[in-house]
A and B are shown apart, each in its own frame.
Chain A
């Protein structure tokens, strides 16, 4: 009889967990290398204030050990790739015999770049992601071959540019010439896709904080990209993550680098305006 009671109460506990598992984001502060304080929660920017009170970095939704890895550059596996990109930054490539550093100087002087991308490019008359800007430089200024959009070379380079901007607030422009792209992105964010008929908002706006199977749903902010994921032990770009999310709704996905994902990246980045850049972040 006692055994039966035990089994019953175990069932009840299991039942209540399945029905409404909530786990609040942690109350913690991210300080990198004991000196750089990262803004991981702040008031929502005006254009999302009607749906969110506060915007929160995905860091607050991860476990204690994962959070600690990001707080020290030595423990952050993403920094190995940043170091590799630093070597590439200073190495000449292409027919012009130029390196990134020949035009731009030290990578540490580029701290205003990551926070403002994606942004409007006048010459191309469209919104450029950081990846598109890097490839534009490679093709048109260096005479080098462009990199695969989500390949290791380009993700490492975006990690380098993010790492030097850490602590600066994300600040992408949503007005002016970029406005129509931003609106396209917003449309996509709220459009249900796939057999599961899920939009970005269903998980990341309506349900953040809940468990989706064993994973803790965040707000889907991209201030921490590129992210080093423990599950695949490499850096992952925002578009690769978008592709994974859309695939998980059981839909045919857009391609990384497609106009749809560029628009979506601009919109999602704008939802995190005010959060610090923290890439390369560590996530599970």
Chain B
């Protein structure tokens, strides 16, 4: 199991209806590629975040497949249109089966 995994997201607290906002996400994760060897020459098993999704009020915003070449602490930034007040839900899927979740509310000004 990957240690020290901690998701972080940054979403504006409010936006005008129909506005496009920028969302920043980062999860601290070592993203072990599965290609490296330890000091004894044994392969270090792959351990990465393999999928990331963001939903807004139940509707999917992005669904990303992550590959082993992505480096430590993957940072994803994307834009989303906010038609109404609601909640963004973020989910990261780990190779070891862990699922990390975070959510942020946004209000309409």
Checking A75, A84, A233 against B4 with a beta-carbon cut-off of 8 angstroms, the contacting residue is A84
Q: Name the B residues within 8 Å of A83 (CB-CB).
A: 6, 28
User: Chain B interface secondary structure, helix, strand, loop or mixed?
Assistant: strand
The CA-CA distance from A83 to B28 in the complex, in Å, is: 11
User: Chain A interface secondary structure, helix, strand, loop or mixed?
Assistant: loop
Q: Name the A residues within 8 Å of B6 (CB-CB).
A: 83
The CA-CA distance from A205 to B8 in the complex, in Å, is: 41
Q: Name the B residues within 8 Å of A74 (CB-CB).
A: 8, 10, 24, 26
Query: Does A115 sit within 8 A of B, measured CB to CB?
Result: no
- Give the shortest distance, in Å, between A36 (CB) and chain B (any CB): 16
The CA-CA distance from A90 to B26 in the complex, in Å, is: 23
Q: Name the B residues within 8 Å of A77 (CB-CB).
A: 73
The CA-CA distance from A83 to B26 in the complex, in Å, is: 13
Is the interface on chain B under 10, 10 to 19, 20 to 34, or 35 or more residues? Answer: under 10
Query: Does A80 sit within 8 A of B, measured CB to CB?
Result: yes
Q: Name the A residues within 8 Å of B28 (CB-CB).
A: 80, 83
Asked if residues A80 and B10 are in contact (CB atoms below 8 Å), the reply is no
Interface string of B17-30 (1 = CB under 8 A from A): 00000001010100
Within 8 A of B (CB), among A111-154: none
Q: Quick one: closest B residue to A233, CB to CB?
A: B72
The CA-CA distance from A155 to B8 in the complex, in Å, is: 22
- Give the shortest distance, in Å, between B75 (CB) and chain A (any CB): 9
- Give the shortest distance, in Å, between B74 (CB) and chain A (any CB): 12
Interface string of B69-81 (1 = CB under 8 A from A): 0001100000000
- Give the shortest distance, in Å, between B12 (CB) and chain A (any CB): 12
Q: Quick one: closest B residue to A75, CB to CB?
A: B24
Asked if residues A80 and B24 are in contact (CB atoms below 8 Å), the reply is no
Q: Name the A residues within 8 Å of B73 (CB-CB).
A: 77, 80
Known: A74-B8, A233-B72. 9 other contacts (CB 8 A): A74-B10, A74-B24, A74-B26, A75-B24, A77-B73, A80-B26, A80-B28, A80-B73, A83-B28
* 13 CB-based A-B contacts, threshold 8 Å: A74-B8, A74-B10, A74-B24, A74-B26, A75-B24, A77-B73, A80-B26, A80-B28, A80-B73, A83-B6, A83-B28, A84-B4, A233-B72
Chain A contacts to B: CB under 8 angstroms = 74-75, 77, 80, 83-84, 233
Ranked nearest first, the 4 interchain pairs of A and B with the lowest CB-CB distance are A74-B10, A74-B24, A80-B28, A80-B73
